[in-house]
Structure 1
Amino acid sequence: MPVGSTRLGFITRLIGFSLLLPLSQGQAGDLPASPPAIIRHELRASIDPDQHQLTVIDRMVVRVGGSQPTLDFTLAKSLLLDTVALVTWVGNVERLTPVSKSLGDDAIDSNLRSFRVSLPDHQSGDVTLEWRYRGVIDDPPREPRHLRFVTPSETSGHIGPEGVYLSSETGWYPDLAGSLASYALTVEMPGGWTTVSQGRGGAEQDCSRPRSDGSCLSLQTWTSGVTEALTLVANRFTVTTRDWKGASGQAVRLATYLFPDDAALADEYLDATVKYLDAYVPLLGAFPFEQFAVVENFFASGLGMPSFTLLGSGSIKRHYTQPYALGHEIVHSWIGNSVWNRPESGNWVEGLTTYLTNYYWHELIHDDRQAREQRRLMLQGYSLHVTPQLDYPIAAFQRKSDEKDNAIGYQKAAMVFHQLRLEIGDEAFWRGVKQLVADLSGRYADWQDLERIFTQTSGRELRWFFAQWIERPGAPAVAIADAMASPSRNQPGAYTLRVRLTREGGAFRFILPLAIAMKGSTASVAVALAAEQHDVELVVPDEPLHVAIDPDFMSLQRLKREQLAPVLNLFVTDQRKAVLPLFADSATPFKELVVRIEAQDAQAPTKHKTTILPMDIVALPPSGSVLIVATADRHVQVQSLLAKACGDLATMGPDGFRIAGTGYEGRRMAVLLSCHRPDAPGSVVTVLYAMDPAAAAKVARLLFFYGWQSAVVFDEGTVIKREMWQEFQAMKEVRRDEQR
């Protein structure tokens, strides 16, 4: 007979008989002693968005190895646990026996609590428990706390009229640490609502028990294979589907779940999904799920779950189909959602996914210019946001909470995979990536597993590589101290080139590309540098004139601030910075921007706080970076302040501006540009200049999204031009050695 509150009785009726059949019941002694783990959840949930209410029956199978008198589960603090019962059967007759439960440690997490469940004596093998609980899940999403939005909006979980988001962090179902379970989920919601979860889904209407307004209930089911956790989202979606078939014959159901206002974007997202599957299935193997969906979220997010990705509505509207966006989330289907990692033992997933999508996509489509740009961005991100004092090993990266984590766990880690590919060659690298997915799908993997697999595919000993790049912080910084050439004694017309290097950052063994300009040609040479090597000797076919270090950013190095192209992020990361507001009080978007910058600095040490400069200054401060936020009525002052740093790269006028020789006019135009300060190495002067601040409202709100280009031109908030300039090249003139 049912146990617990009669409030849950309706769930038992609506689910039907199939989920109430006996689950397999193991026998004591069948399994070796091991930590207890949940292997199966059968969840029956009712959600009332208007009341933020969740009501659930969870019939779970717990595998108990050996004698385990008590089990410690976690559940959201906001949920009231009515009963926990042991489910047994005598023949086909089901018995529910209440078991003892008590509160455990309340300090596990800000929104989770521990429940200690005591099992009857001699319970081992597969034990079935039925949990009945209810309560409110209401943690409205909050904006992230960073100027650069490297994290999504912050919420532990939310049920409301604007949408439903429940994840493992919510604690919306009972869990045991370390469990890998399969899931069967049935959800009752008001008519018009659609749920999305992992695995295969289906839906039907139940009009036998109409709601108070006469509408039918929506019953939706989802079944998932073994996975780390279960996420459930719901909203009033318009659903569009398409079938994809790969070259091998594999079929995958594709879908979009978009808000009605954005439903016209469905084909764009489905087309992009097809494009990425066509590209990555040959690289990574068969797609690991039967379906994949793009789901619109009611708060800012970019999350990849098994069989779907959850993208914020703002991202959906901005056509978030780029390789670093939708492509990144699709590749997570293999890397992260099929092969898992435990963040506490080192998160390798984000680095490899970033390499495969943000970078390698451009190689796949033969866009060499953009591939170089992505390598530059990865090195620049690491060099700017990670000072040597704050650096830590990639092996210690778990998840990103700020720009430093992003630079280490995503950007530097991606460049490490590029170094690995250069070291062992394309064939061994790509065979290793494919073997990683094939061997470890449905399992946890860590850096040691990656080392083992790439050692196998390359036939090389790689302990030194992983010890150097994964287990140590830092990166080398290499410069040319001297370059000298003399005619070769053995090869007529050829020259011997000797390069003396300076090295900082510790002893690193890596491949260093050198670009050599000769009298009649150019050449690129990849030099395998030993850990302490400072001298390089090469024979080149003609007299060398100049030699440069890695102009295409192929090697992982720490670049000095003055070596980087001037960008807004040089201002953001400067230890000394100031803002100069040159606009009227009526320029509300600009005022809000300055307030945000001041608020971001509220917790910073006094010496690192941003200084707000007076409007009447005629010269920049002698040191540090400066952000000028200005309108066209101050063009004379802005031009005067920019002249020394920018020269003829930028000209500001009352009706428009000229950037790198191109003129832009009209009230809708704005520009964000940065130039190196020649009198303050490593610092920049940056200006956000708008003909009309109202037209630049979107730019001001999203300013720090545009931190990686020297100049970005906007037409009513839409980017129409990007420029890079003043990029430093570590080039050295070659001296002729007359004594040889």
Structure 2
Amino acid sequence: MRLRRLVLAAIPVLAALGGVPETAALAGPHGEMLGEEAVRLNLDPASGALTLDARLPAPQGDVALPRQDWLSVETLLIGGEPSPLPASGVIRAARHMGRSVTVRLSGTLPELSPGIEAAGRGETASYLLGSGWLPVDAAPRARFELSLEVPSGWRPAATGRLSDERVHPYGRRADFVFTGRAGDLGVFAGRYAVNEAMHRGLRLRTYFEPRDAAFSPAYIAAAAGYIDRYSDAIGPYPYDGFSVVSAPIPVGLGLPGMTYVSQAILGHGYMRGRSLAHEVLHSWWGNAVAVDYRRGNWSEGLTTYMADYALAEEAGAAEAREMRLGWLRDLAALPAAEDRPLTEFRAAAHGARQAVGYGKAAFLFHMLRAELGEEDWQAGLRRFYRERYDRVAAWHHLRAGFEAASGGDLRWFFDQWLTRSGLPALRIEAAEPEGRKLHLVVGQSAPFYRLRVPVTVETEAGTERHIVALDGARAEVTLALAARPRAVAVDPDFELARELAPGEVPPMLGDLFAGPDPALLALGEGAGAAAAALGPRLLHGAPRLVDAVAAEAAPVLVVLGSGAEVAAWRRAHLSAPAPWSMDAGRARAWVERDARGRLIGFLSADRTEDLLPELGGLRYQAGQSYAAFADGARVAAGDWPAGASGLRRRFD
């Protein structure tokens, strides 16, 4: 399955007030100046009403006041004395002159919206993300102290170390301490049942609604395992604990020592698998080592490779191959405007941009690992973490770490994969067997890449694997074999980031959703209503219904209706025999290409009114060429066989 969850790295929020002395700014571990801020936040999550006092004892540079329409600045003190609010919303350094700045604010959190906003309130949970609700100075990092007060029946959580928690007659107070970037703060409150366990001195917690409390032991055990795994591979875990907080919005956010996960998916097995591994690993990549977004976001690709892909690799060669193929298929479906160099990928994303920032970037690391070998790959990761811990890092810092570990110059490698859009296209220009030898010429499209091309040769004695070095228009080699060759294939397991050759893979249902939204052709009475209802579930935007004439010109088309009507339309427009029985289950979906190569999806049901209930979850079958359903359950699924490919040759 190649559907992507939404993963946003390193989103922030935190603070606390009380007892911070007016001292000079602290020096960080790398000589970076630290600011200080203390915040006392009193929050009623149900109504969204909040008041907060924020104090910067020794502000550095200008201090920006919050500019949220749901939040008002009530008072401002500079050096302990009342001061008028600046019309610009910025307290200039020349005005405060390093004296303490104290701000009182009040407001009401906005109601939850379907998207991901910086703040929101709901019946069971409320949240604040980032630092847009706080006054912040110019210090790149700060020590935030946050004291959270919530009414009885609610539990608060925040990024940072839990230093104290107590119940009082009016509710609960929890104190947190966080040292880091203001953008990495997060504050949460909900009607949570909190489960906790200690693991090697780390506090592991879940903040779940009571109905989900049974999932807590599995989440805590999984988080502990991932922390151990990545500590061994990279270096010490950078925080005092890890928390999983249930979110009332459709999100999966990675914050320092925490993940905020949609309540709707907590019970899914994949969430405790690759998804949780991904968020735990962001504690290292994106949080402890921050991203220099001006030069491109390396964090999502490295995290995808070391978490999602590593677990697929452990599950077996077939699953790892399927994930690599999925990355290539997503890249192949990219609209031209979205096919940008990796250096231009900035933020965590979903949709088309994921293909580059997650998939292509992960492929870069896969090829780098093959280039370096396992020992230098692991050494480079550890060195990069050690040298950039608690600092901002860019792609060139990664390159420096791997160069130092391997002793080689990797500028060529990073330049070709970071600064170019698109992918190389490979071809077999000649393949001539001669006894127990094979004369092979492999070519590539311009601009030329420097590649280690895997070649598999099937011989009378078995299968052999070779590497062909290709750094120009073509490479000509003669392979000495153990027996006479029967067939040859270039990169059959998709080890390289490259264009997929025609016929190399069959069409899949996910192809309908990966690129531009298809046109929908509804056949028969009631099909139009089903198309209008199904469209928003399957497509990125609003469904585009077309008539029979417009359907002929649509570059991607979905035809839906009753089984008989869909079968009749197919017979009239596709000359090839139907690839499967079109009456499986009560409803079914499949994808084909017509004579001109156009992608066409077919959705049919015994009764038109069954289209929506049976096929509403079709996106979860993205990795299949066809699927059939009955009573909402999948009863059949599979892939069409691949066609002839220019990257394979047979000799017998």
Tell me the TM-score range normalised by the shorter chain. Answer: 0.7 to 0.9
1:158 aligns with 2:120: yes
After TM superposition, give the deviation of residue 370 of structure 1 in Å: 0.6
Please tell me the residue identity of whatever aligns with 2:299. V
Q: Give 1:581's aligned residue.
A: 522
Alpha-carbon distance in structure 1 between the residues aligned to 2:44 and 2:265:
27
- The answer to whether the aligner puts 1:263 opposite 2:213 as a matched pair is yes
Q: CA deviation at 1:539?
A: 2.0
Instruction: Report what 1:430 is aligned to.
Output: 378
Within the alignment, does 1:25 sit opposite 2:23 as a pair?
Answer: yes
- Paired residues, number: 633
Distance verdict in 2 for CA 1:60–1:50, change over 3 Å: same
Q: 1:523 aligns with which of 464, 470, 495?
A: 464
Q: Deviations over 1:233-283 (max 9, x none)?
A: 111011122233xxxxx3322222111222222233233323433433321
Structure 2 Cα separation of the partners of residues 243 and 598 of structure 1: 43
Is the 8 Å Cα contact of residues 526 and 609 (structure 2) preserved in structure 1? Answer: no
Higher relative contact order (CA 8 A, sep 6+): 2
Contact 1:138 1:160 in 2 (8 A): no
Counterpart among 120, 132, 135 of residue 104 in structure 2: 132
For 1:385, the equivalent position in structure 2 comes to 334
Matches within 5 A, 1:203-242: 203-207=165-169, 216-228=170-182, 229-242=184-197
Label 1:155 to 1:622 Cα distance change in 2 as closer, same or farther (>3 A): closer
Contact map agreement 2:309 2:320 (CA 8 A) in 1: yes
Find the counterpart in structure 1 of residue 392 from structure 2. 444
Q: Secondary structure at the match of 2:320?
A: helix
Match of 1:188 in 2: 149
Q: Which residue of 2 aligns with 1:405?
A: 353
Q: 1:636 to 1:478 in 2, by over 3 A?
A: closer
Indicate whether 1:83 and 2:75 are aligned: yes
Which amino acid in the other structure matches residue 318 of structure 2?
R
Q: Which is further off, 171-180 or 721-730?
A: 721-730
2:561 pairs with 1:630 = yes
Q: Deviations over 1:17-38 (max 9, x none)?
A: x9533524239xx99xxx9976
Q: Deviations over 1:104-150 (max 9, x none)?
A: 2xxxxxxxxx42345557x34xx4321111122315322xxxxxxxx
Aligned to 1:315: 265
Q: Is 1:672 aligned with 2:583? A: no
Post-superposition shift, 1:700?
4.3
Q: Does 1:501 align with 2:493?
A: no
Matching residue of 1:395: 343
CA distance in 1, matches of 2:465, 2:305: 23
2:231 aligns to what?
Answer: 281
Following the alignment from structure 1 to structure 2, what is the Cα–Cα distance between the partners of residues 712 and 642? 21
Aligned-pair distance for 1:155?
A: 1.6
Per-residue CA deviations over 1:308-336 (Å, capped at 9, x if unaligned) read 11111211133443543111111111111
1:394 touches 1:471 (CA, 8 Å); kept in 2?
yes
**Whole-Å separation in 1 of the counterparts to 2:611 and 2:175:** 46
> Deviation of residue 715 (structure 1)?
5.0
Range that drifts further, 391-400 or 549-558 = 391-400
- Does the CA-based 8 Å contact 2:469-2:475 persist in structure 1? no
| Cα distance, 1:543 vs structure 2 | 2.0
Q: Structure 2: 5+ residue runs without aligned partners?
A: 1-14
Distance (whole Å) between structure 1 residues aligned to residue 536 and residue 68 of structure 2: 36
Structure 1 residue aligned with 2:82: 98
Distance 2:211 2:136 in 1: 37
Shift in CA distance, 513/298, structure 1 to aligned 2, threshold 3 Å: same
The reply to whether residue 57 of structure 1 matches residue 53 of structure 2 is yes
CA distance in 2, matches of 1:233, 1:196: 5
Contact preservation (8 Å) 1:79, 1:135? yes
- SS, match of residue 173 in structure 1: coil
| 1:611 to partner: Cα distance | 5.4
Give the aligned partner of residue 612 of structure 1.
Answer: 546
Partners of 1:328 and 1:721 lie apart in 2 by 31
- 2:600 is equivalent to residue 651 of structure 1: no
Which residue matches 1:116?
91
Taking the TM superposition and a 5 Å limit, the aligned residue runs for 1:237-386 are: 237-244=192-199, 250-321=200-271, 323-363=273-313, 365-386=314-335
Contact 1:590 1:693 in 2 (8 A): no
Aligned-residue Cα RMSD (Å) equals 3.3
Q: Is the 8 A contact 1:73 1:176 kept in 2?
A: no
Compared CA separation, residues 390 and 49, structure 1 to 2 (3 A): closer
User: Is the alpha carbon distance of 1:637 and 1:260 closer, same or farther for their aligned partners in structure 2, counting shifts above 3 Å?
Assistant: farther
Query: What is the distance in 1 between the residues matched to 2:250 and 2:84?
Result: 41
Partner of 2:364: 416
1:462 and 2:414 are equivalent in the alignment: no
SS state at 2:461 partner:
coil
Q: Structure 1's 134 and 179: CA in aligned 2 closer, same or farther, altered over 3 A?
A: farther
CA distance in 1, matches of 2:320, 2:536: 37
Letter in 1 for 2:82: P
**2:284 partner SS:** coil
Matched AA of 2:87: L
Cα gap change, 1:584 to 1:255, in 2 (>3 Å):
farther
Give the CA deviation at 1:559: 1.9
- TM-score, normalised on structure 2? 0.88
* CA shift digits 1:612-664 (9 cap, x unpaired): 244xx9x984874331233446465377469755x4642122xxx1xxxxxxx
CA contact (8 A) 1:101 1:117 kept: no
Assess if the C-alpha contact under 8 Å between 1:59 and 1:130 holds in 2: yes
Percent of aligned positions with the same letter in both sequences?
Answer: 24
Deviation string, structure 1 residues 48-100 (Cα, Å, up to 9, x no partner): 23432221001124453xxx5x544554243211222234xxxxxxxx12345
CA distance in 2: counterparts of 1:594 and 1:321, whole angstroms: 26
Aligned-partner Cα distance in 1 for 2:274–2:245: 17
Partners of 2:385 and 2:483 in 1: how far apart? 47
Cα distance in 2 between the residues matched to 1:633 and 1:621: 20
Q: CA offset at residue 730 of structure 1?
A: 4.1
Kept after mapping to 2: 8 A contact 1:38/1:176: no
Match of 2:452 among 511, 515, 529: 511
Q: How far 1:553 sits from its partner (Å)?
A: 0.6
Letter paired with 1:689: S
CA 1:176–1:723 in 2, change beyond 3 Å: closer, same or farther? Answer: farther
**What TM-score, normalized to structure 1?**
0.78
Q: Aligned with 1:444: secondary structure? A: strand
Change (3 A) 1:698 1:432: farther
1:197 aligned partner: 158
Residues 147-205 of structure 1: CA deviation (Å, up to 9, x unaligned)? xxxxxx33231134342121116x11112356311221111212111111112334322
Q: Deviations over 1:425-459 (max 9, x none)?
A: 11111111122223222111111110100001111
Deviation at 1:337, TM superposition (A): 1.6
Letter matched to residue 205 of structure 1:
V
2:419 partner SS = coil
Alignment of 1:678-697 (within 5 A): 679-681=595-597, 683-691=598-606, 697=612
SS of 2:105's partner is strand
Q: Secondary structure at the match of 1:357?
A: helix
Q: Secondary structure at the match of 1:54?
A: strand
The residue that corresponds to 1:4 in the other structure is: none
Q: Report the counterpart of residue 709 of structure 1 in structure 2.
A: 624
Question: For 1:190-224, what per-residue CA distance to the aligned partner results, in whole angstroms no more than 9, with x for missing partners?
Answer: 211111111233432221xxxxxxxx322222222
- Secondary structure in structure 2 of the residue aligned to 1:650: coil
In the aligned structure 1, how far is the partner of 2:139 from the partner of 2:20?
25
What SS does the aligned partner of 2:271 have?
Answer: coil
* TM-aligned CA distance change 1:721 to 1:289, over 3 Å: farther
The answer on whether the counterparts of 1:298 and 1:313 sit within 8 Å (CA) in structure 2 is yes
Give the aligned partner of residue 39 of structure 2. 43
Q: Which has more radius of gyration?
A: 1
**Contact 2:41 2:149 survives alignment (8 Å):** yes
